[in-house]
Amino acid sequence: MAGETPLAATRTPWERAVGRLKAIVIDTVLLALALAMAEFLALAFSGRRGPTGMLLGAEEILDLLHYGWIASLAFAGAMVWNLFEHFLGSSPGRALAMGPREAEEGLEWHETLRGWFVAVLIELTFFTGWLVTEVDLGSFLTKFSKASGIVRGLVHPSGAVLHQGLVLLVQTIFLAFMATAFAIPVAFCLSFLAARNLTRGSALSRAVYLVTRTGMNFTRAVEPLVWALIFISWVGIGPFAGVLALWVHSVAALTKLYSEQIESIDPGPVDAIKATGARTLQVLRYGVVPQVIPPFLSFTIYRWDINVRMSTIIGFVGGGGIGYILKPRVDLGEWGEVGTLVLLIAVTVWLMDLVSAKIRERIV
């Protein structure tokens, strides 16, 4: 390594300053997390609180955070670690933001303070998570009998809901299909606006790109079940609300997939068509569309597949489909009928999966 220029030396002072700033921010966050979790565990195990004291402990820690004690302590720790890294070794933040010091190359994790810190942080997270999610292995291992009714129902499905279940299953598949079908034209148009390589022309087109991208990311972040609640109050309980909920989510998801495909096209044909004096729409029609049609088809079928899965539970909140009759039977404990419906769903999802994989194989 002797003859090579160290990486740090190739950086400008400005880049080094930014890197160091990032390192201190990351270290502060990590140290604050470690301190908060250690505090929480100490309170939980101090004996002064029973299992119900957990939440109280959490509140106390939120207060502490609020008053900034842990934050300032963590910040002080981060500063010390970054100032004295010659003795303490690179901090985790430094390692992430700028890479570890050269002197540490080839060290095992247990030979650095950073390694030990990360190991302790992982342990702390695990035990804190155990308490926060109220893990109860005892119930898991000894109280199976309470759920045995469901398992018995799955093994002995009742024929009473078979007919209704099949009818609603057909509705479920159509629900997913309509949501996908409505999503295609909208996502197709939006994807051109959300493709970076087509929106470099002017400040206006870059703004359109940003707005479309942000809007779609936000829409996608909201789960279809939440969209279903919105549309149920809009158009009323029933499958159409489910169609709309899955439609909105599909538009966002397909726009993202489509536009990423547009971004990865070969720019050559676009140049060639542009050079003939073609208009923008013609350039898209000849230079872009032929390149993206097969992957678009593949994504669309995949999306229909996902929509079938989602539409089986969209009925839980009143969005139509098979979930609509599944929910009350779960609540009433009609396990035989639940078993029938769950089996119907499983077979459908499995078949869709198989068919969609086969079709997509053919296309690409």
Q: Which residues bind another protein (CB under 8 A)?
A: 268-269, 271-279, 281-282, 285-287, 290-291, 293
CB of 273: closest distance to another protein in angstroms? 6
CB of 261: closest distance to another protein in angstroms? 14
Nearer to another protein, 168 or 288 (CB): 288
CB of 282: closest distance to another protein in angstroms? 5
| Rounded distance between C-alpha atoms, residue 242 and residue 52, angstroms | 40
User: In this structure, is the dihedral angle defined by the CA atoms of residues 104, 110, 112 and 114, taken in order, positive or negative?
Assistant: positive
Nearer to another protein, 66 or 285 (CB): 285
Ramachandran quadrant class, 344 (left: phi over 0; alpha: psi -120 to 50; beta: rest) = alpha
Candidates 296, 318, 322; CA nearest to 309 is 322
Nearer to another protein, 66 or 279 (CB): 279
| Rounded distance between C-alpha atoms, residue 93 and residue 81, angstroms | 10
| Rounded distance between C-alpha atoms, residue 349 and residue 273, angstroms | 43
Largest Cα separation within the chain, whole Å, is 81
Neighbours of 134 (CB within 10 A): 8
Nearer to another protein, 252 or 283 (CB): 283
CB of 7: closest distance to another protein in angstroms? 22
Candidates 306, 358, 344; CA nearest to 162 is 344
Nearer to another protein, 115 or 269 (CB): 269
Nearer to another protein, 99 or 269 (CB): 269
What size, in residues, is the chain?
A: 364
Which two structure tokens, joined as six digits, stand for 300?
Answer: 């669309």
Nearer to another protein, 137 or 275 (CB): 275
Contact between residue 339 and residue 347 where contact means Cβ atoms under 8 Å apart: no
| Rounded distance between C-alpha atoms, residue 190 and residue 253, angstroms | 11
CB of 31: closest distance to another protein in angstroms? 39
CB of 271: closest distance to another protein in angstroms? 5
| Rounded distance between C-alpha atoms, residue 311 and residue 329, angstroms | 18
CB of 284: closest distance to another protein in angstroms? 9
